Chain A
Amino acid sequence: MTAIQTEQLELEMGHFRLDNISASIPKGKITGIVGPNGSGKSTLLKVMTRLLDADKGEVQIEQRPLKDYSTKELARSVSMLPQSKSGLPELTVRELVAYGRSPHKRLFESRMKQEDEAIIDWALEITGTKRHENRMFHTLSGGEQQKARIAMALAQKTDILLLDEPTTYLDIAHQLDVMEMLQKINQEYNLTILMVLHDLQQAAHYCDYLIAMKRGKIVTTGTPEDILSREFFQHVYDIEAKVKFEDGYPVIIPSKTRRLGACDKMVIVTNTSKIKPGNAHLLIERFDRVGKVEEMEGFLGLEVLLTENTKEFEEVTVSTRWESKAAFQAWTRSPAFKEAHSHRGIPDYILDNKISFYEVKIVRNPLPAASGE
C-alpha cells in the first residue's frame, strides 16, 4: 500500500528544481529522503503538502489526487514539521501543541473540547513532553523543543507525518532520542513517516526505505541494505566511502583521498600543443573524451592551460601530476589510454606537439612567515 504517490513531478524555482520525480511512499513505514544539499529534498516535501505547486505532474495521497483535498482535509491527512522553528510567538508547550487541533475546528472556533484535550494529552505523553506542558516553549532545550513541535504535528491526528531534517542542530543524544521516539510512534500507531535526513547512518538504521536525490532527480530507491554501497557514495555524494553493515547498522567509512600533502616528491608530465587559432577547444574536448586519468593509481591531479594572447597560434598545455614515474607509465599501458591512442591520426589543427617529463621535489613553506605573526 502506498500512502503518497508522485508521478513525474516537475518544478523549476530559482536554484531549486524537481525533475521527473516519480516515487511512492509506503504506508505505515519510515521512509527517508537523502542526498546532498540543494538536491530538492525539502522542495519535494513542500510539493507534497501544497506549500509549493508543481509545474507538472501529480501527487496522490491515499490514492486521491492532492488537488482534490481542501486545505483543511489535507491538514487532517498530512502533517509536516518544517525545518525552521523561528518566529514562534511566546507560548507554553501545551498551547503550542493545542494548535495542532486547528484543522479539526471550525474557522472561528478556538475553544477546546474534551476530545481535543485528550488528544493533546496523548501527543504530549507519547513525545515525553507532558512534564514540560506548562513551561514556555522558548525555555526548552533544542531536543525538547523539537519533541514539542512533533507533538503539535501529532495532535493533528494525521496518518502521514512529514519531517524536514528533524535532527539537524541537535546533539547526538537528542538526535537519537528524537529518532527513537519517531520509530516508536511509527510502530505503535502505524503512522507513515517521511523525513528528510542528512545523517546517513541514522537514515539507514531507522528508515525502512530510502530515496536518494541529486540535483532534483531521484537517483536510487530501496532498502538501506540494498542501496548503500561504494557506488552510492560515488554517485550521490561524489565521495569515496566504504560501507559495511554490522548487525543491520551501517558503518560508513570515508576513504582517505590522496592529496598532495601525502608525498614530498612527484612527477609532472606536460603535453604542450601549438594549435591553429580558434581550434583549442577541439583539443580540450578530445582530451575530455580520452583522458580517464582520474581513476589511475598514483594520479595526483591535472591542469589544462590555454594561452589567449598569441595571434599566430594557440597553445594548450595539459599538465598531469603523478606520485612516481612508474605510476605514469602504468597509465600509458592502461586499456583506457591504449584505446584512446590506438587508431587515430594527429588532427590537422595541431601545428606542433611537445611532451616534457619532470621529476619534481616538493618544497613546503618556501617563504618565511611574515614577521609579527
Chain B
Amino acid sequence: MKPDARRKRRNWAWVLAPLLVIAVSLYGLAYGSVSISLNEIWQVFAGSSLPAHDRIIMDLRLPRVLIGLLVGACLASSGALLQGVMKNPLADPGIIGVSAGGGLAAIITMIVLPQFGYLLPVTAFAGSLCTAMLIYSLAWDKGASPLKIILAGVAINALLGAATNGFMVLFSDRVQSVLPWLSGGLSGKSWYELGFMSPYAIAGLLLSFLAIKPANVLLLGDESAKLLGQKVEVQRFFIILLSALLAGAAVSVAGLIGFVGLVVPHAVRLIIGEDYRYLLPLSMLTGAALVVFADTVARSWFDPIELPVGILLAALGAPFFLYLLKKRRMM
C-alpha cells in the first residue's frame, strides 16, 4: 500500500465509519416484524408518534440497537488488541478461550444458581478474567511468549467447551433457557441488560484508548519495544486483562458471538494499516455496525423465525475470513 493511498483511505474511513454506524442503527430501528419509516422514528424521538410505535422503538428496538453497538465495539476492540499484543492474527477472544471462560461462568450461574441471575455480567466478566489469567500463567516462563499464550489458550478453550457441554448434559432439564444464549444473540434484550453491561463495556472501551500507544510500540516486536523503554511484560499483561474485560462485557449479555473480534480488525487493518490510532477506533465503529446490521437481518429477514445473531455472524464471518486468508497469501 502506498502512503498516499493509505492516507486517503484513512480519511475516507473516518468519514464513512460513523456514517455507517448511523445508517445501520436507523436500519435496526426501522426494520423488524413491523416496518417503521424514518419519519415516524423521528416522531418517536420528538414525542409525537403513535403509542404502538413508541413502544416498539423505545422498549424493543432502541435498547437492542444500543446493546448491539456496544457488543460489536467491545468484541472488535478486544480482538484488535489481542492480535496486536500476541503478534498473531489468530488471537481472538473466541479462539483463545477468553469468551468461553466467560461463557462457562455464565452458564454455571444460569443453571446452578439461577437466583443470582442479576449477577450474570459480573460472573461472565470474572470468568473471562480468570481464564485470561490462567492462560497467562500457563504460558509464563520468564516472560510469556505470544505463541505459548495462543497454544495454551486453544487448549483451555477446548477444555472449557467440554466443561460447558458437560454441564448441559448433567442439567439437561434446564438447558432450554441457556441454548439461545449459547449460540449468541440479542433476542429479548432490553434496557435492563443494557444497564448492567454498559458500565463494563464503556469503561473497557474508554480504557482501550489508553492502550493505543503501548500496542503500537509492541507492534515492533518485544525486543525493540524493550529497547524503546517499554515495560513489555507489564503492558502485555494489562492489555490482555483489558481484552478480557471487553470480551466479558459482551459475553455477559450476548452470549458466545464469534468472528467479530477476528474478522473486523483484520478487514480494517487491510484497509487502513496497522496503526492503532486508526485501527482501534475504526474497528470499534465497524464492529458496532456489523453486529447491529447482522442482528437486524437475523430478526427481520427470516420472519417469523428469529435467528440467533451469532449463527448469522459465523455464517457471514467464516467465508469472509477464508477470503481474507486467500487474498493475503497472494500478496
Contacts and interface: CB of A to CB of B under 8 A. Distances in A.
18 contacts: A49-B226, A51-B223, A76-B229, A87-B87, A87-B221, A89-B219, A90-B274, A95-B275, A100-B228, A102-B213, A102-B229, A103-B229, A108-B210, A109-B213, A110-B212, A110-B213, A110-B277, A136-B2
Contacts of B230: 71, 102
Interface string A85-127: 0011110100100011011010111100000000000000000
B18 to A, nearest CB: 22
Interface in B196-232: 210, 212-214, 216-217, 219-221, 223-224, 226-231
B273 A79 contact: no
A103 B213 contact: no
Contacts of A99: 217, 220, 224, 228
A195 to B, nearest CB: 15
A62 to B, nearest CB: 16
Per CB-CB distance, the 4 closest pairs between chain A and chain B, nearest first, are: A75-B229, A103-B229, A72-B229, A89-B274
B34 interface: no
Contacts, number: 67
A72 B228 CA distance: 7
A361 to B, nearest CB: 59
Interface string A12-50: 000000000000000000000000000000000000011
A100 B224 CA distance: 10
Given A71-B229, A71-B231, A102-B228, 18 more contacts: A50-B226, A71-B230, A73-B229, A75-B227, A80-B227, A87-B221, A89-B219, A92-B3, A99-B220, A107-B213, A110-B212, A110-B216, A110-B277, A134-B3, A135-B3, A136-B2, A136-B3, A156-B228
A74 interface: yes
A74 B221 CA distance: 18
A254 to B, nearest CB: 35
B1 interface: yes
A245 B67 CA distance: 77
Interface of A: 49-51, 71-76, 79-80, 82, 87-90, 92, 95, 99-100, 102-103, 105, 107-110, 134-136, 156
Interface centre among B210, B224, B231 (most CB of A within 10 A): B224
Interface string B1-36: 111000000000000000000000000000000000
Contacts of A156: 228
Interface in B68-99: 87
Interface centre among A82, A100, A102, A156 (most CB of B within 10 A): A102
Contacts of B217: 99, 102
Interface residues of B, number: 25
A171 B228 CA distance: 29
A72 B277 CA distance: 22
Contacts of B3: 92, 134-136
A51 B227 contact: yes
A71 B274 CA distance: 25
A298 to B, nearest CB: 52
Contacts of B277: 110
A156 B217 CA distance: 14
B328 to A, nearest CB: 13
A75 B220 CA distance: 15
Given A89-B219, A89-B274, A102-B217, A75 B210 contact: no
Contacts of B273: 89-90
Contacts of A79: 227
Interface in B13-66: none
Given A108-B210, A110-B213, A136-B3, A82 B220 contact: no
Contacts of B275: 89, 95
B228 A75 contact: yes
Contacts of A87: 87, 220-221
Nearest to A76: B229
Contacts of A72: 229
A360 B280 CA distance: 78
Contacts of B210: 108
B228 A74 contact: no
A313 B223 CA distance: 60
A78 to B, nearest CB: 8
A224 to B, nearest CB: 28
Given A89-B274, A108-B210, A110-B277, A136 B223 contact: no
B30 to A, nearest CB: 39
A72 B217 CA distance: 13
A108 B213 contact: yes
B327 to A, nearest CB: 15
Nearest to A88: B220
B296 to A, nearest CB: 35
Interface in B260-283: 273-275, 277
